[in-house]
Amino acid sequence: MRKIGLITLFEENYGSILQCYSTKTFVESLGYECDVLSFNEAPRNFIEKLAKYIKKILKILRYPSFLRYIVNEKRKKTHSSLSLGTRKRMEDFISQTFHPQKVTEKDLKKSDWINQYDFFIAGSDQIWSPKKDIYPFRFLSFAPIQKRITLSVSFGISDVPEYNKKQIRKLLQNYKSISVREETGVKIVEKYSSAKAIRTADPTIIYTKKNWEDFSNGLSIDSDYILVHFLDTPNEIALKSINELTTRLGINVIAVGYNYEIFRELKNFKFMDASPKEYIALISQAKYILTDSFHTSIFSINLAKEFFVFARQYSLIPQSSRIIDLLHRFNLSNRFITSINDLNRALQEKNTDDVQKTIQNERDALREYLKNALEA
């Protein structure tokens, strides 16, 4: 049986886990064996730790914006942390479903190890994020060019920070073509390399509404509720919108993943620890969904739900470009809420049949792309 090595993000985030699941299971449905590869990018000894520390200091001295980003990231961690129960449910799903294969530095230098794989797939999610550290492994730098496939990779932002432009430019040169998740990613590839850039959808779109409902079978909520899933503490407009909907509808609010202190101020509030399957079930059964998450947004679209999206509050480098790109593609830009007036207008507008047509077109194109890439 032909074999694929999948390099992507698959931990501590519902979207990361489920896009990995989508890619792995679809590749396997085509008759391939697919290993999810796990490589520890952390320095292995004192010398490597020292070298990394020195590089970081030199980068800070040359690019003060890099220091601002590091400080902001440390500050953000004090505001957002997965609940322990959710983390455990995610870890259980990963170990039972993915069986990640640990890769060492020695493996990457062995032709025997590399040759056991017919292709390596990089993607999806923000595996090429240039906000902080760049990881050559995620760019498939170890693999022969003819074995490299990119699948809807995301940079996560609309351009590369000055302090990482040189490294990004170098890593992007070793591709003939690159599949990215957003139009902003197409522009980055074209700006920093000579590779052909094409846009393909997030892998979760491979599966239909019915597929995901079958996947999540087992959790049932008896009463109507508003689902909130925020990767950062919700901004003021998001909180006002939650309260506005709660007051109008008189129903409960369920939060999943992150249990922020500020949620205690909400009416009829309940927090739930949830596995990836339960997360999908909560989206599927929700009356309304409010989020700052890319993947909660795309699942809401795929599952034909009423949803509203808000800007991240603690991000120094704006990350809204990927969600705005997503909403624009499905003609749902009105779902990005920056005021209560935006919310009121969006509540009056319903999704059109064009959304389902776009979903199907995106699904067909992604499946075709992956099939062709594996047959090349």
Per-domain boundaries in the chain = 3-207+360-375, 209-354
At the topology level, CATH places domain 209-354 in Rossmann fold (3.40.50)
Percent of the chain with pLDDT over 70: 89
Name residue, tokens 């996560």: 156
Give the pLDDT score at 76.
Answer: 55
Give the pLDDT score at 243.
Answer: 92
Give the pLDDT score at 267.
Answer: 84
pLDDT of 63-99, one tens digit each?
Answer: 667 666 666 666 555 455 889 999 999 999 999 999 9
Domains 3-207+360-375 and 209-354 share a fold: yes
**Residue 234, H or E segment:** none
Give the pLDDT score at 186.
Answer: 95
At the topology level, CATH places domain 3-207+360-375 in Rossmann fold (3.40.50)
Residues 185-202: what's their mean pLDDT?
94
Confidence tier at 376 by pLDDT (50, 70, 90): confident
Strand order, beta sheet including 252-256: 269-272, 252-256, 225-229, 288-291, 307-309
Enter the DSSP assignment of 100. P
Residues with Cβ within 8 Å of 121's Cβ and at least 6 positions away in sequence, in order, are 4, 5, 6, 7, 8, 23, 27, 149, 150, 151
Please count the CA atoms within 13 angstroms of the CA of 51 that sit on its side-chain side.
Answer: 7
Residues 260-278: what's their mean pLDDT?
92
pLDDT of 302-359, one tens digit each?
Answer: 999 999 999 986 555 555 778 988 999 999 999 999 999 999 998 888 766 789 999 9
